[in-house]
Amino acid sequence: MVETKRRGFLATAFGGVAVGGLASKAKGQGGSGATTGLVTSPPVVMAPRGDGVEIAWSVSRLSLGWVELKTAEGSKYLAQNGWGFMPQGEKVLRARLDGLKPGTSYRYRVVTEAAEGSALRVESEWREFRTLDPGSSSSRFVVWNDTHDNGETLKALDAATPAADFLLWNGDANKNKWTSEELIVPTLLNPGGTDFTAKRPLAFSWGNHDVRGEYGFQVSDYIAMPEGRPYYAMRSGPLAAVVLNTGEDKADEHPSFKGRVAFDALRREQVVWFEREVLGRPEFRDAPYRVVFCHLPLRWIDDGLQRTFDMFSARSQVLWHEMLVKWGTQVVISGHIHCAGKIEANAEFPYAQITGGGPTLDQATWIDGVADSKCLRLKVNALTGETRIEMEFPPIVNLQPE
């Protein structure tokens, strides 16, 4: 679907009383059309943690909002931005929820009010999310990659992908590059017109196209990270998941970037963080299953062949390989090449490499990961229902000295 048609579809979808699962109630002055136009995306549950999540939703004008949780004692009001203000903004509102219980389902709704002009208020329907459970005996996660704003593929992926502890969107959500800030909401908060976090919270991994273009620097205003950095670690049951940022697929000095990027420094920064946070914290260091997610592969079949763009991130590999081996990484899950594939572990690289598919219906895949007491099972599934790749990994013991 061309860009103008896609925008027209979104405007039509948001013109009624429901917005991708966001049921609106009008209060105060103004008609229902004006009120529902205040909120332009479903609530997106992202950055899952054992003690909370962050919820983002887009608005059409200067607004303020909050999140309400439904508890046994009644509704609990929650809103936080860390600076003493209610969540406010002209384009997006974000509310970070802290202090919640691990492995617990919460009923919630988001409330939005216009901050100027007519007294408009929009209340979403009551919805549900579940916090991560580090103490669980099992975990299920799902992975998308390289969707490139293909609406048809996104709808099919959302329909095919089951509920899970988290959805790891492994980069290249953007079609090509960010030429306008207005592209960000339909691409990241309402992709393909779907309410895609209704069944699984979003954990985002940055791809090279997600940082590209004049407005790439603004993506972080819309997408939350658990600790405010574009790399992080999560513990879900027996699984430790580390999300690393491979940056661009060309050198920082490439003329197409026009001096906008500095990913060499970011790659080095992640080494320091990994040594401190992943190797230094028992919940990650000693996990039975150890998986790394990053958009660009760290290995590929043509490791010695670099084109005008990188098929794999040699810049990341040379910096990160030693720390990944030290941790006992079992598998690196990536995208980028638009082809489902795998490389088994060997003596030089004791971690396997898996890649997911591409943006078209015939290329697209979703990865199903299940970790329990017996093994970590990974299946790379096509939209036809075919399983293209299967791998299993046994639980491992602590590789670090006591």
* pLDDT, tens only, 258-304: 788 778 899 999 999 999 999 999 999 999 999 999 999 999 876 54
Are 182 and 174 in contact, with CB atoms under 8 Å apart? no
C-alpha dihedral sign at 270, 273, 274, 277: negative
pLDDT of the residue at 17: 24
* CATH code that applies to domain 3-130: 2.60.40.10
Q: Which CATH number fits domain 139-393: 3.30.110.40, 3.60.21.10, 3.30.365.10, 2.30.38.10?
A: 3.60.21.10
Q: Is the pLDDT of residue 100 over 60?
A: yes
pLDDT of the residue at 11: 28
Helices 263-273 and 314-327: angle between axes, nearest 10 degrees: 0
Q: Which of 19-33, 134-148, 196-210, 218-232 has the lowest mean pLDDT?
A: 19-33
pLDDT of the residue at 287: 98
Distance CA 221, CA 118 (A): 26
pLDDT confidence tier of residue 325, bands split at 50, 70 and 90:
very high
pLDDT confidence tier of residue 234, bands split at 50, 70 and 90:
very high
The whole-number average pLDDT for the span 219-236 is 97
The type of residue at 253 is E
> What tokens does 292 get?
């790394």
Residue 218 to residues 113, 132, 224, 262, Cα–Cα distance (Å): 24, 28, 12, 15
Instruction: Indicate where the chain has its CATH 3.60.21.10 domain(s).
Output: 139-393
Q: Is the pLDDT of residue 85 over 90?
A: no
> What tokens does 35 get?
């009120």
Q: Which of 13-17, 169-173, 230-234, 332-336 has the lowest mean pLDDT?
A: 13-17
Distance CA 235, CA 392 (A): 19
Are 330 and 378 in contact, with CB atoms under 8 Å apart? no
pTM score of the predicted model: 0.89
Instruction: Indicate where the chain has its CATH 2.60.40.10 domain(s).
Output: 3-130
**Count of alpha carbons within 13 angstroms of residue 53, beta-carbon side:** 30
pLDDT of the residue at 74: 81
